[in-house]
Amino acid sequence: MKYIDIKDKSLNELEAMLKEKKVLLFELKAKLKTMQLTNTSELRDVKKDIARIQTAITAVKA
C-alpha cells in the first residue's frame, strides 16, 4: 500500500482500514509467538501500513 492510494479516502474509511490493520498485526504477532509465521517481513509491512494510515488521518483532520 502506498500513501498515494490512501490520501484521498475519507476519515471513516481510514479509521476502518486502521482497525483492520491493527487486527492483522495482532494476528501476525500471535503467529510469530507460536512459530507459525514463515514470512516475518509481513510484520514490518503491516507496521508501515499502519503508520501511513495514521499519517493520512492526521492530514485529514488538519
The per-residue pLDDT for range 10-33, each reduced to its tens digit, is 999 999 999 999 999 999 999 999
User: How far, rounded to the nearest angstrom, does the alpha carbon of residue 38 sit from its chain's CA centroid?
Assistant: 19
pTM for the full predicted model? 0.92
Alpha-carbon distance of 9 to 3, in angstroms, equals: 11
Query: What is the per-residue burial (b if ≥16 Cβ within 10 Å, else e) of 22-51?
Result: eebbeebeeeeeeeeeeeeeebeebeebbe
pLDDT digits (tens, 9 = 90+) for 33-59: 999 999 999 999 999 999 999 999 999
* All three cell numbers of 37: 509465521
Tally of structural domains, the chain:
1
CATH of residue 8's domain is 1.10.287
Q: How far is CA 31 from CA 17, 37, 38, in A?
A: 21, 5, 9
Range(s) of the domain holding residue 10: 3-61
